[in-house]
Amino acid sequence: MISCRNVSKSFRDHKVLNKINFDVPEGVIVGLLGPSGAGKTTLIKILTGQLLSDEGKVEVMDRDVTKLKGADKNRFGIMMDQFGFYERFTCSENLKVFADIYGIPQSKVTDSLKDVGLEGASKIKASDLSKGMKARLLLARALMHSPKIIFLDEPTSGLDPKSMRAIHEIILKRKKEGCTVFLTTHNMDEAAMLCDNVMLLNEGTIVENGSPEELCRKYNRDKKIKVSLSDGVTKEFKQMGQDKHELADLISKGMIETIHSEEPTLETIFLELTGKKLQED
């Protein structure tokens, strides 16, 4: 669905993206992870034809993205955090404008609002919406014309867990219907839960990519085990080497209360690869 070849982009002398390469097959959710300033938004803009790359080539649905026609654009659904609304219009009036543009029936407006759980808010002015509601309205607008390919730039950043879950469900539902989703985030739990594939972006290069499980297995070199003992102490062991005897000893003595394997998360992988945290805490 998306093919990105050797894409580079600089703003003046600052190289934001450096030879980015990847492919996104149809029907999957791909997540682009990276800390703030990594170039995620810039990449989405290039993929959607809002920005020209300095080098390289992007094809979406086998078309050069710089030469998209009207019909192609109608198969795109785009949600960017800086996109705004007509603030003097209500939720449903905002969507009506786009229903008219896409030539889809007005009944679709009510359906779209229901899909994102805003049916009760249809008469509220866009400027009076809460942050979570705004995100859902943005999503409704991006999805109302049933696009085949969906680009979401930090769809859940700064939202409460409930709104976040609601948005995850909407995204997963679209995937079931056969849509391809490309999203950015700096929340690794979100990426691990939603994405079939993740790409870790750092300082303009993709430092690693694969399915979340694959990556966690790959970086699970130490195979660490964490145990809490009946005397209240917590200890970490490596399965290999010296540690295994002590561990076996503890088991035979019946000292172990709980035992967990310590697999790396996307967060720790990112830290290992770049020495940086994804999210400031």
Select from 2, 16, 47, 80 the one that contacts ligand ATP (CB under 6 A): 16
8 Å CB contact between 116 and 140: yes
Q: Does residue 180 belong to the site contacting ligand ATP (CB under 6 A)?
A: no
Select from 30, 41, 65, 194 the one that contacts Mg ion (CB under 5 A): 41
Q: Which does 39 bind (CB under 5 to 8 A by kind): ligand ATP, Mg ion, other proteins, none?
A: ligand ATP
CB atoms within 10 A of CB 6: 12
If phi > 0 it is left, if psi is from -120 to 50 it is alpha, else beta; for residue 173 that is alpha
Nearer to ligand ATP, 82 or 107 (CB): 82
Nearer to other proteins, 22 or 89 (CB): 89
First vs last C-alpha separation in the chain: 35
Nearer to ligand ATP, 99 or 135 (CB): 135
Q: Percentage helix, strand, coil, to 5, in the chain?
A: 35, 30, 35
Q: Which does 186 bind (CB under 5 to 8 A by kind): other proteins, Mg ion, ligand ATP, none?
A: ligand ATP
CB atoms within 10 A of CB 83: 11
Select from 151, 186, 247, 264 the one that contacts ligand ATP (CB under 6 A): 186
Select from 1, 40, 174, 215 the one that contacts ligand ATP (CB under 6 A): 40
194 vs 188: CA distance, rounded Å: 10
Half-sphere CA count of 6, side-chain side, radius 13 A: 4
Quote the radius of gyration of the chain (alpha carbons, Å): 22
Name residues contacting other proteins, limited to 77-96 (CB under 8 A): 78, 80, 82-89, 93
Question: Interacting stretch for ligand ATP, rule CB under 6 A, among 23-31, 32-40, 88-96, 222-230?
Answer: 32-40
Q: Which does 189 bind (CB under 5 to 8 A by kind): other proteins, Mg ion, ligand ATP, none?
A: none
Q: Does residue 260 belong to the site contacting other proteins (CB under 8 A)?
A: no
The first and second tokens of residue 206, run together, are 């993709």
Instruction: Count interface residues toward Mg ion (CB under 5 A).
Output: 1
State whether the Cα torsion 29-40-168-264 is positive or negative: positive
Give the DSSP per-residue string, 231-249.
TS-EEEEESSTTHHHHHHH
8 Å CB contact between 218 and 268: no
Q: Does residue 141 belong to the site contacting other proteins (CB under 8 A)?
A: yes
Q: Which does 38 bind (CB under 5 to 8 A by kind): Mg ion, ligand ATP, other proteins, none?
A: ligand ATP
Nearer to ligand ATP, 95 or 278 (CB): 278
Instruction: Count interface residues toward other proteins (CB under 8 A).
Output: 24
| Interacting residues with ligand ATP (CB under 6 A) | 11, 16, 34, 36-42, 186
